Amino acid sequence: MSDFDRVIERRGTHATKWDMMAKLSGINAADGIPMWVADMDFAAPPGVTQALAAVVERGVHGYYADNGSWAAALADWLARRHGLSIDPEWVSPTPGVVSGLGLILQAVSEPGDEVVVFPPAYHAFRKIILANERRILDAQLVERQGRYVMDLDALRAMLTPRTKVVFFCSPHNPGGTVWSADEIKALAGFCTEHDLILVSDEIHCDLVLDSAKHIPTIAAAPEVADRLITCVAATKTFNLAGAHVGACVTSNPELKRKLDARIAASGLGSYAAFGMIATEAAWRTGDAWLDELLPYLAGNRDLLDSRIEAAAPGARSMRLDATYLAWVNFSGTGLKAEDVAKRVSERARIFVSPGAQFGPGGETWLRFNFATPRPILREALDRLDDAFRDLRG
Ligand SMILES: Cc1ncc(COP(=O)(O)O)c(C=O)c1O
């Protein structure tokens, strides 16, 4: 049994989430609580710790030999957890999903080309597009019955001959949307119709809550396989972000050849041993740990949703079907976004992700990472209760 209630001190351990908080947020209080970047305050599955301990014990840290076991472990995991059959030959490891996105852009587009993003969307999409001198084409998500939907007709009207790639986030961050097979099929058909490369970032695919079910894009729309690259990783699922390894998967050999050429051109064809060993161990041994984690996260989500809506009348948390990133709209409180942000950072001493970071449509929202032991979450919620007390009359 994993003890997700156990508080592990992370301050002073090179933990971005905790140790970069003061610098990035200006929250200098010793008791600041970080609820921003997407990693969890939980220990990794025991099988990962054992695999890494064996490496440390041996004490020799030479180059990593990729004998195919890593991609095979990923293929086994996808088969076991998602009923998906992939050929390990389709897999290219990259130093994380975001670096994979950059390499994909370099492989399939030119500077000045446009990349479709569905905002509010994971902010690193925007950064990697701009860093690669491509342009962002924002296809605004629409909120319908408490969840996001894509408006492909609006997108169609915006396309230009320079639109080349679509960054699709499935499940979606933020908002935790688990897309239906019909929605994925419609997007895939759109990409075929307009000759676009579809990049399906499925890094959150294992963090699906309650009875929701993630459908891999390749399973919902196999007809799009030739123009599809799927990005996956063990790092979100098992809290191994520091391992910095992800995978790009495509069944199109020509697309894979182009991507592998960019990987080679950047000298990334040799992999970090600690990351490969940790993530392979996670896929091979992490099932039971994940099965215990998911209900714990669902419990945290329910606690946060109910308490935040009670603390700040008019605030509304989007019901998450996936991820541990609560997405809360404060527009109904009547407060200005800056006032809300100040209450959270100054009164509650909590560092959250500002909604504006996720692009158009995020301005009145805040994203709260609730993947933390319940004692920390409760403390954060008590402080938020205080921070908005005057609103409750
Ligand atoms: C949708 C999405 N893609 C990618 C990443 C990060 O991937 P990596 O750390 O492997 O670059 C995140 C992290 O939050 C994410 O939410």
User: By CB neighbour count within 10 A (0-12 exposed, 13-18 middle, 19+ buried), where does 23 fall?
Assistant: exposed
Contact 114, 137 (CB under 8 A): yes
Retrieve residue 169's tokens: 């986030």
Beta carbon of 241 within 6 Å of any ligand 1 atom:
yes
- Is the pTM value of this prediction over 0.85? yes
Maximum alpha-carbon separation in the chain: 65
How much distance in Å is there from the Cα of 368 to the middle of ligand 1? 16
Distance CA 102, CA 381 (A): 37
Please list the rounded mean pLDDT of every run of 10 residues in the chain (393 residues).
Answer: 93 98 95 98 98 98 97 98 98 98 98 98 98 98 97 98 98 98 98 98 98 98 98 98 98 98 97 98 98 98 98 97 98 97 98 98 98 98 97 87
CB-CB contact of 51 with 281 (8 Å): yes
The atom number, within ligand 1, closest to the CA of 245 reads 10
Q: Which of 251, 252, 231, 152 is nearest to 194 (CA)?
A: 152
Report, in angstroms and rounded to the nearest whole number, the Rg of the chain calculated over CA atoms. Answer: 21
8 Å CB contact between 141 and 118? yes
Half-sphere exposure of 360 (CA within 13 A, CB side): 9
Task: Indicate the top mutation candidate among 36, 118, 122 to test ligand 1's pocket, ranked by most ligand atoms within 8 A of CB.
Answer: 122
Spatial separation of the C-alpha atoms in residues 99 and 92, rounded to whole Å? 12
Q: Which of 105, 97, 114 is nearest to 38 (CA)?
A: 97
Q: For residue 361, which of 114, 172, 95, 83 has the smallest C-alpha distance?
A: 172
Domains of the chain: 16-45+288-392 (3.90.1150.10), 62-285 (3.40.640.10)
Instruction: Write b or e for each residue in 39-60: b if 16 or more Cβ atoms lie within 10 A of its Cβ, otherwise e.
Output: bbbbebbebbeebbeeeeeeee
8 Å CB contact between 10 and 18: yes
Q: Please provide the size of the chain in residues.
A: 393
Q: Whose CA is nearest to atom 9 of ligand 1?
A: 96
Contacts of 334 (CB under 8 A, 6+ apart): 314
Contacts of 180 (CB under 8 A, 6+ apart): 215
SS3 category, 252: coil
Q: Is the CB of 221 under 6 A from ligand 1?
A: no
- Tokens representing 49 are 């710790």
pLDDT of residue 393: 76
For residue 97, how far is its CA from the centre of ligand 1 (angstroms)? 6
Is the beta carbon of 122 within 6 A of some atom in ligand 1? yes
Measured in Å, residue 92 CA sits from the centre of ligand 1 at 16
Atom of ligand 1 nearest to the CA of 38: 14
